[in-house]
Amino acid sequence: MRVAFLVAQEGIEQVELTEPWKAVTEAGGTPRLLAPKGGSVQAFHHLEAADTFPVDQEVGQAGMEEYDGLVLPGGVANPDALRMDAESVSFVKGFFERGKPVAAICHAPWTLVEADVVRGRRLTSWPSLRTDLRNAGAEWVDEQVVLCAAGPNTLITSRKPDDLRAFCDTFVPEFQKVSS
């Protein structure tokens, strides 16, 4: 199971990157960190700078056929920056067009809104995105984790860091189905 983790250069909520990454690794998968530019990315503990992580591949150089699934970590600034990067938005949209599973937590669904892939889908997020998601045609619910199989692929969403265990326990088996 090869999993792309797509993040911006900074503003990633660290635990929303590291815990899903660990879940993929523990399941025998290979996570890869993608970003708009090479080098490293800056994670945060809410608003405080935390660790940096090396980028494995620039999103513009990545082929969707290389990956079984896509994880979009949150953080307020992270998805806000990603939705302004055309290559990142195209990469996300491509996963939906190819029927590959996508998992997004917290503020990450902002990138899904920009990719225009939430219409007709049931999902959750950080509560402040509720109106944005409804305006984009999604059915927003306040639940720990939501698995939506509407459309050609599976979308797994979760609200916040406190939901990470349920998020990981839901998306990893879905990604494993694709890689087997």
Q: What is the per-residue pLDDT across 80-98, written as a single tens digit (0 to 9) for each?
A: 999 999 999 999 999 999 9
Cβ(52)–Cβ(42) below 8 Å? yes
Written as one string, the DSSP assignment of 32-88 is EEEESSSSEEEEEETTEEEEEEE-SEEGGG--GGG-SEEEE---SHHHHHHTT-HHH
Q: Of 14-23, 53-62, 145-154, where does mean pLDDT reach its minimum?
A: 145-154
Which domain does 39 fall in, by range? 2-179
Q: Is 107 a catalytic residue?
A: yes
% of the chain at pLDDT higher than 70: 99
Residue type at 103 in one-letter notation? A
- Please report which confidence band the pLDDT of residue 58 belongs to, taking 50, 70 and 90 as the band edges: very high
Q: How many CA atoms lie within 13 A of 169 on its CB side?
A: 6
Asked if pLDDT for residue 180 goes beyond 80, the answer is no
Catalytic residue among 45, 46, 107, 168: 107
pTM exceeding 0.85: yes
Mean per-residue pLDDT over the chain, rounded: 96
Domain count, the chain: 1
- Please report which confidence band the pLDDT of residue 151 belongs to, taking 50, 70 and 90 as the band edges: confident
* Structure confidence by residue, pLDDT tens digits, 63-83: 989 999 999 999 999 999 999
Catalytic residue among 45, 46, 106, 168: 106
CATH classification at residue 114: 3.40.50.880
Q: Is 46 a catalytic residue?
A: no
